[in-house]
Structure 1
Amino acid sequence: MIDPPTVPALERAFEVNVRLGPLADHGQTRAGHRRVIPITGGEISGGVQARILPGGADWQLVRGDGAIDIDSRYSARTPDGEMVYLQVTGLRTGPADVLDSLLKGENIAPARYYFRTVITIETSAARLRHLEDSIFIASCARDADAVRYTAYRIT
């Protein structure tokens, strides 16, 4: 008999705090209701130490029910000058009143909505190359001017 695949587990990997700039609402486009939120900075801590650089963004699509498809891309630099590129995709959804409050920039307890993402990483730094060989998922929280998340490596 062939052994079954192993059951994945979650291993805490790193924490992220992404600072956000003012939202640009593009309105209804052929792809849907497009919003672009600039990334102005932030920090990565825990298993990876780095400063998030300004210049990235979250290119969101707001669904008809108020849920948001997340597509964020940004770069970070470690204290040693190594570059790390993060691509974050996911979903934020919940009750209509909670989603409406989040869209207005209000601080809402993360337990009141569902905000999960998948993170993929690229880097040329040899000592961080292991990050490219893993899949990370995150449980996220949206603050008025930031997104915070803890990333977990799927084993």
Structure 2
Amino acid sequence: MTAHEPPVPGLERSFEVVADLGPLEDHGTTRAGHRRIIPVVGGTIAGDFRGTILPGGADWQTVRADGSIEIDGRYSARGDDGSLLYIRAQGVRSGDPAVLEALLRGDDVDPAAYYFRAALTLESATRPEFERAVYLASYIREASRVRYVAYRVT
């Protein structure tokens, strides 16, 4: 029997999201930790899926003791063709405490100064190819929006 090596994964650019955000809701320390919720109020998606980000989603964040943030974003997009795409992003934003504070204030911060990545789970009744792959995203946080590029893991 021949031993095979598993394939080395690669990344293939799939789509870019610009999500417009509402005001941060700081819920304080709950049983889950320091809870913050940031509403998703609109935006765009372009690439393998083209359309608009629908209002009504949010990022349910938990702030860790070291200031890092656990990301749990859930929102939908409506394609230019009328189809729907559900996106769930689970990841982390971390960095030097001064950098994280600057992001919280809405300052323009070089994305190389912090780490902001997530694994995406996609659902679509009309685009099953999105459900058959793993996606990773690299983010930039801006004052009133978040931008990211999603990559399909090959």
TM-score calculated relative to the size of structure 1: 0.97
What is the CA RMSD across the aligned residues, in angstroms?
A: 0.7
Q: Output the CA distance in 2 between the equivalents of 1:59 and 1:105.
A: 18
Map of 1:82 onto structure 2: 83
Paired residue secondary structure (1:64): coil
Q: Output the CA distance in 1 between the equivalents of 2:120 and 2:133.
A: 9
Q: Output the CA distance in 2 between the equivalents of 1:2 and 1:46.
A: 38
Paired residue secondary structure (1:4): coil
Letter in 2 for 1:96: P
Instruction: Give the drift of 1:79.
Output: 1.2
Map of 1:153 onto structure 2: 152
Residues 76-122 of structure 1, C-alpha deviation per residue, up to 9 Å, x if partnerless?
10111101100001000001100111122222110110000111100
After superposing on structure 2, the runs of 4+ consecutive aligned residues of structure 1 that deviate more than 3 Å are none
Map of 1:141 onto structure 2: 140
Q: Output the CA distance in 2 between the equivalents of 1:95 and 1:19.
A: 25
Map of 1:65 onto structure 2: 66
Instruction: Give the drift of 1:4.
Output: 1.2
Identity, in percent, stands at 53
Question: 1:123-134 alignment to 2 at 5 Å?
Answer: 123-125=124-126, 128-134=127-133
Q: Output the CA distance in 1 between the equivalents of 2:118 and 2:33.
A: 20
Paired residue secondary structure (1:93): strand
Q: Output the CA distance in 2 between the equivalents of 1:63 and 1:103.
A: 14
Instruction: Give the drift of 1:131.
Output: 0.5
Q: Output the CA distance in 2 between the equivalents of 1:142 and 1:107.
A: 8
